[in-house]
Amino acid sequence: MTQHTVRIWDLPTRIFHWALAACIVGLVITANVGGNAMVWHFRLGYTVLALLVFRLVWGLVGGRWSRFSAFLYSPARLLQYLRGAPHPEDGIGHSPLGALSVFVLLAVLAAQVGTGLLSDDEIAFAGPLTQYVSNAVVGLATNYHKDIGQFLVLSLVGLHVLAIIFYVRVRKQQLVRPMLDGDKTLPEVAAPSRDDALSRIAALVVLALSAGVAWWVSSLAAPAF
């Protein structure tokens, strides 16, 4: 059978994926170390904010298979996949189940970053938005961020890793390598994602603007006395 090598994940999407993974690891470590490590916890939090803003925009204008429209599946399509009757395109980019996990993880990370911006440890570190809301909101955000949110993030990341192991070991699907070099070997021809110099320059512009948003949010912090 003829195999076709197709560019599925563009370079910006791949860098986003691994940068986000590294930041999550760093956030977990710095949160548990505490103390002066919280300075890096905030920096990594702002980095994740920039990455999430980037992914939101790139999900609209990025490569073919990185766009949300490419993996925004209906409930019926998801049920069909779970029943063992996948659509031919389900194995190209994100499968319906994989897409669901992506959206849930992005939403949970957004909630975690958002509540982090509203959290206060009542010792030395407070999010930049705490001054704009009531103490009750700060308390709720802090509790969610430290307990529920952290548990959800760790649980979803764990499930994500287990799912990858299952699909690679049991179903013999390529998942890790394509997220490294961008290409998938497919039995049928598929439309590739655009991944040329121009699209990468566009991604840099989007990333710079996203970093600007994160910097602006960080600048809202009340001055320390």
Query: Which one, of 25, 51, 159, lies nearest residue 104 by Cα?
Result: 159
**Tens of pLDDT, residues 66-86:** 999 999 999 999 999 989 888
* Contact assessment for residue 193 and residue 8, using Cβ atoms and an 8 Å cutoff: yes
Task: Outline where the chain has alpha helix (H).
Answer: 11-33, 37-61, 75-82, 96-117, 135-143, 149-169, 178-181, 197-218
The pTM of the full predicted model, rounded to 2 decimals, is 0.93
Q: What single letter denotes the amino acid at residue 220?
A: L
pLDDT band at 1 (very low <50, low <70, confident <90, very high): low
Give mean pLDDT, residues 118-138. 91
